[in-house]
A and B are shown apart, each in its own frame.
Chain A
Amino acid sequence: MKSNGKHLHFFAIISDAVATLRGIIVPLGFGFVWGVRHLGDIIGYVLIIPLVIVVFNFFKWLRFKYEFVDDQFHIRSGVLVRSDRYIRIQRIQSVQIKTNLLLRLLGVVQLKFDTADQASKGDTVLSALKLEEAERIKAEVSRGKTQQSATAVEEKPVQTSKDLPKKIYLLSGKRLLAASLLSSKIGVMIAAVAGLWSQADDFIPDSIQGRSLSYLEHASLVGIIIIIGVAILLFWLFSLVSALLRWGFFKLSIYEEEWCIHRGVWETSDETYKTDRVQAIRIKEQWFQQLFGWCTVYADCSGSIDLEKSDGGSILVFPLLRKKELPDFLKTAIPRFSGPIERHPLPMRGTLYRMILPAAFWIVLCSVLTWWLDWGKYTFIAFPFILAYIWFKNRSEGWALIDKRLIVVNRWLTKTTTITTKQHIQSFAKRQSRFQKKLNLSTCKTFIRASTQETFTIHQLDEQDADRLFHWFRKK
Chain B
Amino acid sequence: MTVARVFQKDSNMPQHERKVPFMEKRQLNPRILTIWRQRAIMTNIAFWLSIGGFVTSIFFFDWPHFLFYIVAALAALTILHLILYVFIFPTINYRTFFYEIRQEDLLIQDGIFIITQTVIPFTRVQNVETTQGPLLRKHRLTAVSVTTAAGAHEIPALEESDALALRDQIAELIKENPANEI
Residues of A that sit less than 8 Å from B by CB: 116, 276-277, 302-303, 423, 426-434, 436, 445, 447-450, 453-455, 470, 473-474, 476
Contacts and interface: CB of A to CB of B under 8 A. Distances in A.
Interface stretch (B14-22, B39-47, B144-152, B164-172): B144-152
Interface string B120-156: 1100100000000000000000000000111101000
Contacts of B102: 474
Contacts of A431: 111, 114-117
B151 A470 contact: no
Contacts of B3: none
30 contacts: A423-B180, A426-B124, A426-B149, A426-B151, A427-B118, A427-B124, A427-B150, A427-B151, A427-B153, A428-B118, A428-B119, A429-B117, A429-B118, A430-B116, A431-B116, A431-B117, A432-B115, A433-B113, A433-B114, A434-B113, A436-B114, A447-B150, A449-B149, A454-B150, A455-B150, A474-B102, A474-B104, A474-B105, A474-B121, A476-B104
Q: Which 3 A-B pairs have the closest CB atoms?
A: A449-B149, A447-B150, A426-B150
A445 B114 CA distance: 13
Contact of B182 (A116, A428, A455, A476): A116
Given A116-B182, A423-B180, A474-B121, 15 more contacts: A276-B182, A303-B182, A426-B120, A427-B119, A427-B120, A427-B150, A427-B153, A430-B116, A431-B111, A431-B117, A433-B113, A433-B115, A434-B113, A448-B150, A453-B150
Contacts of B105: 474
Nearest to A435: B113
B182 A447 contact: no
B115 A277 contact: no
A303 B119 CA distance: 23
Contacts of A474: 102, 104-105, 119, 121
Nearest to A427: B120
A423 B179 CA distance: 10
Contacts of A445: 116
B124 A429 contact: no
Given A276-B182, A302-B182, A427-B124, A447 B151 contact: yes
A473 B148 contact: no
Interface string B57-82: 00000000000000000000000000
Contacts of B118: 427-430
Contacts of B116: 429-432, 445
Contacts of A433: 113-115
Contacts of A449: 148-150
B153 to A, nearest CB: 7
B119 A429 contact: yes
Contacts of B115: 431-433
